Amino acid sequence: MGWETRARGGRYYTRSVRIGGRVCRQYIGKGELAEAMAGLDALDRARREDARDEARERRRQADAAEAAVADFCREVEAALRAALEAAGYHRHKRGEWRKRRVTGERQGEHERQGGGARQEGGQNGG
């Protein structure tokens, strides 16, 4: 958008518009009418720029809020992971949390404490 000075000695106001995906120059005129249209176009440009700035600021605020929520979620997940691991759970194939089985030497300790899976001489005929 702007003023053009032609060889015949006149200043003309033109506007660039997009028509069908291509940019074309639209002749507006010269004189007071062209001056008024140039002023209106400048106001319109300023409004669009202000709207862009406001949208950019809202996006920045939304990104900051989203980052804070993401940080909080990471902290909660870390605390949950620590609590579950301390309680004897593990992630099965990076999926669900499962109670870790007691095997080997630890199973002998577990049975001596009275928490064994099989009981001798019970109904199982052992």
Average pLDDT value over all residues in the chain? 85
Stated as kind and residue range, the H or E segment containing 99 is strand 97-99
The CA distance from 51 to 57, in Å, is: 10
Cβ-proximal residues to 35 (8 Å cutoff; 6+ apart), any chain: 13
Q: Which residue has the tokens 């920045």?
A: 60
- Write down the pTM of the prediction: 0.54
The model's confidence at residue 7, banded by pLDDT at 50, 70 and 90, is: confident
> Is 90 exceeded by the pLDDT of residue 115?
no
Query: Do β-strands 89-91 and 22-29 pair in parallel, antiparallel, or remain unpaired?
Result: unpaired
Question: Can you give the pLDDT at residue 126?
Answer: 46
Closest C-alpha to 51, from 41, 62, 59, 40: 59
Stated as kind and residue range, the H or E segment containing 90 is strand 89-91
